[in-house]
A and B are shown apart, each in its own frame.
Chain A
Amino acid sequence: MGAQLRVYKRRIRSVTATKKITKAMEMISASRIVKAQRAVAASTPYADELTRAVTAVATRSNAKHPLTTEKPGASRAAVLLITADRGLAGGYSTNAIKQAAALSAQLREEGKDVVTYIVGRKGVSYYNFRELEVTGSWTGFSDKPTYGDAKAVASDLIEAFVAETGGVDELHLVSTKFESMLTQTAVTARLLPLKLDEVQLSDESKAKHEIFPLYDFEPSAEGVLDALLPRYVESRIYNALLQSAASEHAARRRAMKSATDNAGELIKSLTRLANSARQAEITQEISEIVGGANALADASAGSE
């Protein structure tokens, strides 16, 4: 076997091995999307009930709470950025990071200091590599977040928000919204201070436009709000984590699908090249034999 042919054969073998890996990753991601979507669906009853309760308290009492109060002359804004722990997910993390950068630039333009909090190793390494300051980070759960993870993130952020000095005045969230298997968009939302009049309702409950009954609040409207609002923030962050996880899997599936397709294409064209190299080798051998035979024939004809 000629050198050329051997090189092609070796490349085909290595691309085939890569293709097997990307194919496996594609299938794993595909199955995880379903799980992640199910997790989003399973968390909806809680989020809906919580939203309903928060709206009920907000409409039935005019209790003030630190988490809903706009701070005059806000000067420090926190940005929570949700990225992936692992790469090979196409533009998933990059898009979220870009979105966060745009938001930070906008906040700085408004004259606010930006404090960055990050979920996911990709975001952390991006910021560390560029020596940008990261105030807090959480890693290790981006593909399968639990409520406990959301709670840990939320408690730090709420603490920073209610701190008397050195805290933040606003909290923005950059996450990736799972719109469909094919579309995931990086979105930004202001989480704190909460605007109670535009508390998010899912489409179903929006349609109802219900009038809330006159609740008795125990121990008091303030006490209930005290307990509810942190839960509400947690639930919003939990939802963002779950959506981002589903988006991550969808992005990875798509990236791995095109990698598999590309590997297939590459194998095909390499096979063609290997075939023509083999054919060229054969042709050369034949012409060598023919040339040799002719030379022999000429030599013997000349001697006679």
Chain B
Amino acid sequence: MAELHVELVAADRKVWSGAATIVVARTASGDTGIMPGHTPVLSVLESGPVTIRTTDGGTVVAAVHGGFISFADNKLSLLAEIAELADEIDVARAERALENAKSELDAHAERRAEVRLVAAGALGGHKLV
């Protein structure tokens, strides 16, 4: 099966790298799915969860905030200022941050907390808008 090589890199560390069959990310023009053989693309990422389906059938979910995605020669680079894998996310902390952000009407912080919770699967069924 065709596969693409994925590198998920945050500003201060390499978060994840490996082979995948499809990667879905939220770009400025909407959710984009990238599969092997996609045309070279360079686009701006929105805050949102990134889903990577690995070649061995597993799924890696990460919350990314700000950054961009570039794909060429079956190599996909996801660069984000902040990127956290789902199992690294502190759900309790994100929930607290969400409460704070809601009470302080900080839309950015609220969005960040929501993205974290969605990526961690703690906002069950909640549709991110």
B12 & A147 in contact (Cβ 8 Å cutoff): yes
The number of chain A residues touching the other chain, given as a range, is: 20 to 34
Measured CB to CB, the closest approach of chain A to B52, in angstroms, equals 17
How many A-B pairs fall under 8 Å by CB?
87
Check A46 against B72 for contact (C-beta < 8 Å): no
> Nearest chain A CB to B97's CB is how many angstroms away?
15
Q: Is the CB of B40 within 8 A of A224?
A: no
- B residues in contact with A219, CB < 8 Å: 28-29, 43-44
- A214 partner residues in chain B, CB cutoff 8 A: 40
Chain B window 30-66, contacts with chain A (Cβ cutoff 8 Å), 1 for yes, 0 for no = 0010000001111110000000000000000000001
Binds B, one of A37-45, A68-76, A120-128: A37-45
Residues of B in contact, count (CB < 8 Å):
27
A151 interface hit (Cβ, 8 Å): yes
Q: How far is the CA of A42 from the CA of B13 in the complex (A)?
A: 5
B2 interface residue (CB < 8 Å to A): no
- Complex alpha-carbon distance, A295 and B91, angstroms: 94
Contact, CB under 8 Å: B28 / A213: no
Give the segment of B73-81, B99-107, B108-116, B118-126 that binds chain A: B73-81
- Bound form: Cα–Cα A215–B82 in Å: 24
Are A215 and B40 in contact, with the CB atoms below 8 A? yes
Q: A43-B12, A45-B9, A49-B77 are in contact. Are A216 and B40 (CB under 8 A)?
A: yes
6 nearest interchain CB pairs?
Answer: A218-B43, A147-B11, A213-B40, A227-B44, A213-B72, A215-B42
Could you list which residues of chain A lie within 8 angstroms of chain B, going by C-beta atoms? 39, 42-43, 45-46, 49-50, 52-53, 56-57, 146-147, 151, 212-219, 223-224, 227-228, 231, 234-235, 238
